[in-house]
Structure 1
Amino acid sequence: MPKYPPHAPEALRRDPLPLRGRTALVTGASRRGGIGHAVARRLAAHGAGVYLHHHVPHDAAMPWGADRIEEVTASVRDALGDPDARVVAGPGDLTDPAAPAALHARAAEALGGRLDILVANHALSGSDGDLDTIDAAMLDAHWTVDTRSVLLLVQAHARHRAALPPRTPGGRVVMMTSGQDIAGGMPGEIAYALQKGALASVTRSLATALAEHAVTVNTVNPGPVDTGYLTGDAYEAVAARFPAGRWGVPDDPARLIAWLATDEADWITGQVIDSEGGFRR
């Protein structure tokens, strides 16, 4: 007879720190107003040690500007559920093809030599256009940051997990996509939509490739999230398209991503999950 998980009452009680002893790398976690910061806080609150990747020059060039990394790190550290867990931050320019593997290695070393959870949250903002205005440089820029660097990070994570004892529990990869496959698509952001669509399309293939190392792979579409990039009438127009009458906030997708990192989600892999609050496109 197959051996199924126990169903005794004690097996159904939730651990208040389900990620105690686990470690995570969260990329693109450089702003307190961003999704990466919210994810990192959730993982830390669940007991995980967290490495925060940042690339301040990117944010500094954007309308919202850069945040103080020390304050971002302190905010995540304040959320720690396990006082023995660590929160570390470090830079990385992921346009460099050698950077993803180097970043993964630094994160693993900083967190004690083992890395369990990879959340590839980073993306290139701007440098995009519609079908008439995109050019090769735009396409290449988004490929480099939004897709190539993510796949190289996943490769590094797979190699790292393969070197651990067989079936070491807790291995997770979460990638981020967007609404490019949902009604209307993203005709004004062709380069971004193309590369995010590539991540969605490769999710099941990566999940199959990493299954032998007991690593689940899922991709999350957070929908429109208020990270400070839109204001005025356009902001209100987007808010009106949510049944709840509000934008998503960074903690909305962060709750889903943190749950995917726990053992409760151990049987979920190869999925692209929309977390859009019923957004009407």
Structure 2
Amino acid sequence: MPRLPHPTPEELRRDPLPLRGRTALVTGASRRGGIGHAVARRLAAYGASVYLHHHVPHDAAMPWGADRTEDVIASVRAALGDPDATVVAGPGDLTDPAAPGELLATAAEALGGRLDVLVANHALSGSDGTLDAIDAAMLDAHWQVDTRSVLLLVQAFARHRAALPPRTPGGRVVMMTSGHDIASGMPGEVAYALQKGALASVTRTLSTTLAEHAVTVNAVNPGPVDTDYMTGEDYDAIAARFPAGRWGMPDDPARLVAWLATDEAEWVTGQVVDSEGGFRR
């Protein structure tokens, strides 16, 4: 096999919109304070058209509450780098086994029939406990949302990409882990840690499986991120454990996710990448 030549000077000059013409589905993008919203804004700023998945009832039941979908769409649309790109949003209850495939098909159709990037950012909050308190219902709830739905989304995405011309460029999957597997542990969140650890474990297997379709698969551990769920002394104590003296902000992991979606990251696959700002555990 011939060796590839060095890139030409023209190839080295980065397109200011490296995702121009690409399309992306970002799940769990229903709150402006969340990572999904930040990822969607970054992808849009890089030129992509973006489909925002939301499940408002979940956020409405949480202490932080839900945003209006119109406000989330407007925020992402304001970041669009390509005036020809679009932002679309739609609901999906990913506890339903049929929902991931339906969501993938809906997003692809809404964005012109082709989906290039899947960012599986959604997760279940609450419904968790210690080893002593955990029960089968809690474990099943997190399995359904945090793991099963992600695998079914990746399955649907793989089938979608397989139907495109061979080795169509731009295929990307990014999943989100939690860092529980490298941390000292969070004994009050056994179900969440278990299911997020499963995603970290399966990343390399999925990357090998999707390689024939020219799709990279990576996972991002965002570390502790300020998504409006903690205040007071606990917040300050966590901030002090970062060398920068601050929490991670949603845009911190979003920049990494957006880079993984570009052609510059086409040689990175099967990795769990930590984006933690030097967090001291």
Q: Which TM-score bucket, shorter chain as reference?
A: over 0.9
Residues 54-93 of structure 1 correspond to what in structure 2 (within 5 A)?
54-93=54-93
What SS class does the counterpart of residue 88 from structure 1 fall into? strand
Instruction: Give the Cα separation in 2 of the matches to 1:27 and 1:237.
Output: 30
TM-score by length of 2: 0.99
- Unpaired runs of at least 5, structure 1: none
Indicate the residue corresponding to 2:236 in structure 1.
236
Residues 20-99 of structure 1 correspond to what in structure 2 (within 5 A)?
20-99=20-99
Instruction: Give the Cα separation in 1 of the matches to 2:24 and 2:157.
Output: 11
Instruction: Give the Cα separation in 2 of the matches to 1:271 and 1:179.
Output: 13
Structure 1 residue ranges (4+ consecutive) displaced by more than 3 angstroms after TM superposition:
none
Instruction: Give the Cα separation in 1 of the matches to 2:5 and 2:20.
Output: 21
Aligned residues: 281
Indicate the residue corresponding to 2:256 in structure 1.
256
Indicate the residue corresponding to 1:273 in structure 2.
273
TM-score by length of 1: 0.99
* Mapped contact 1:118–1:174 kept (Cα < 8 A): yes
What SS class does the counterpart of residue 216 from structure 1 fall into? strand
Residues 88-167 of structure 1 correspond to what in structure 2 (within 5 A)?
88-167=88-167
CA separation of 1:261/1:142 partners in 2, compared to 1, >3 Å: closer, same or farther? same
The answer to whether 1:193 aligns with 2:178 is no
Offset at residue 5 of structure 1 (A): 4.8
**How big is each residue's C-alpha offset from its partner over 1:242-277, in whole Å with a ceiling of 9 and x where there is no partner?**
010000000000000000000000000000000000
Please tell me the residue identity of whatever aligns with 1:27: T
Instruction: Give the Cα separation in 1 of the matches to 2:9 and 2:216.
Output: 26
Taking only aligned residues, the RMSD between alpha carbons, in angstroms, comes to: 0.8
Instruction: Give the Cα separation in 2 of the matches to 1:3 and 1:60.
Output: 55
* Mapped contact 1:178–1:193 kept (Cα < 8 A): yes
**How big is each residue's C-alpha offset from its partner over 1:103-155, in whole Å with a ceiling of 9 and x where there is no partner?**
00000000000000000000000110111111101000000000000000000
Instruction: Give the Cα separation in 2 of the matches to 1:63 and 1:228.
Output: 10
Indicate the residue corresponding to 1:213 in structure 2.
213
Instruction: Give the Cα separation in 2 of the matches to 1:137 and 1:168.
Output: 41
* Mapped contact 1:55–1:91 kept (Cα < 8 A): yes
* Mapped contact 1:179–1:186 kept (Cα < 8 A): no
Indicate the residue corresponding to 2:13 in structure 1.
13
Instruction: Give the Cα separation in 1 of the matches to 2:109 and 2:11.
Output: 33
Percentage of matched positions with identical amino acids: 86
Please tell me the residue identity of whatever aligns with 1:193: A
* Mapped contact 1:49–1:87 kept (Cα < 8 A): yes
* Mapped contact 1:172–1:217 kept (Cα < 8 A): yes
Please tell me the residue identity of whatever aligns with 1:276: E
Please tell me the residue identity of whatever aligns with 1:10: E
Offset at residue 186 of structure 1 (A): 2.0
